[in-house]
Amino acid sequence: MEMENRTVVSEYILLGIPNTKGHETILFIGFLVFYLCTLLGNLLISSAILADSRLHTPMYFFLCNLSVVDLGLASISTPKLLVNLLAKNRTISLGGCMSQVFFYHFLQSTECLIYTVMAFDRYVAICHPLRYLIIMNWRVCIILAAGTWVTSSFHATILTSLTFTLPYCGANVVDYFFCDIFAVAKLACADTYIIETVTFTNTGVVPMTCFFLILLSYVRIVYSILKINSAEGRRKAASTCASHLTVVIFFFGPCALVYTQPQLSKALVTAVQISADIVTPMLNPVIYTLRNKEVKGALRKLRGEQTTAH
């Protein structure tokens, strides 16, 4: 009888952003601008790093990985959100919903781990400068980068599998602007304790562990910077960490707000989520460009080569 009462869900309906009726056109234009700036900024950063041999170093190798992640993160929910803001049909296929869940947690986990690896890179560069090229050789860099992508793929596969192997009895209205685990799992006609526990552990404890490791790295980095005798040396060492520390705050700030303040309203949680998924990927290339002479130089060089080519 239980099997007879189950209905195969082949598509979902995304309710979108709450309290936005009548403002769809303005939101569409705003999100479209953010999305295009994100694509342009991250593509320029990646192109500049690949084109300039002076930037073929571990720090910029990881920055290039971060740009790829940001391109993916911005593309998970934004295109569908843009369509839903203007179209009356807000449906998304089962495959599309599964893809959003998988790639969201895959790329969020990858970004979290890349920030941790970048903190380790800065720690080695400042605390062990004479051994930096020995410790952070290309073999180590490739292993660290590949490890973040592979580990995150397993993480996302487990969460997606647990979510969509739950029994669903026909309810398909997702009370959110994209398919995420909690929004989809609450439609299941079964106990969701296991998926909720696993998801909280993976999306709560793991990022906080990464944040603790980053914090530990920066405590050691600050200690080493204070021991540098020259003011110019201290300034140069601090400037190499400023951009990374800024984007870490932008990434972990929303996570901390959502997980430490469970009483937040749905509208505020959605605003925080949009900021993390749409605004932050756009800001990352801006932050690294404004505070980094090497990247600005590579971008000017890239622009000069393109002008010459034309």
Pairing of strands 91-93, 173-174: unpaired
Taking residues 7-11, report their average pLDDT. Answer: 76
* Residue 160 pLDDT exceeds 90: yes
- pLDDT for 99-116, tens place per residue? 999 999 999 999 999 999
In the chain, domain spans: 11-305
In the block, tokens 């609450």 appear at 186
Q: Tokens 């201290």 map to which residue?
A: 234
According to the model, what pLDDT value does residue 196 have?
A: 77
**Tens of pLDDT, residues 276-302:** 888 888 888 888 776 677 777 777 777
Burial class (CB in 10 A: 0-12, 13-18, 19+), 130: exposed
Residues contacting 98, CB < 8 A, separation 6+:
160, 164, 179
CA-wise closest residue to 171 among 4, 2, 5: 5
Distance in angstroms (rounded) separating the CA atoms of residues 108 and 114: 10
* Residue 31, pLDDT above cutoff 60: yes
Q: Where do the H-state alpha helices sit in 16-135?
A: 24-51, 58-86, 94-127, 132-135
- Identify the three-state secondary structure at position 235: helix
For residue 233, give the 3-state DSSP assignment. helix
End-to-end CA distance of the chain: 70
Across the range 36-64, mean pLDDT stands at 90
Q: What confidence score (pLDDT) does residue 264 get?
A: 56
Tokens of 219: 């405590």
Enter the tokens of residue 20.
Answer: 């936005």
**Residue with tokens 């929910």, as numbered in its chain:** 77
Find out whether 218 and 241 touch, Cβ atoms under 8 Å: yes
| Letter string b/e over residues 218-248, b meaning 16 or more CB atoms within 10 A of that residue's CB | beebeebbeeeeeeeeeeebeebbebbbbbb
Instruction: Give the pLDDT confidence score for residue 120 in this predicted structure.
Output: 94
What class has domain 11-305?
A: mainly alpha
The whole-number average pLDDT for the span 53-77 is: 91
Q: How many CB atoms lie within 10 A of CB 258?
A: 17
Give the tens place of pLDDT for each residue, 174-231: 888 889 888 898 888 888 788 877 777 777 778 888 989 999 999 998 888 888 777 7
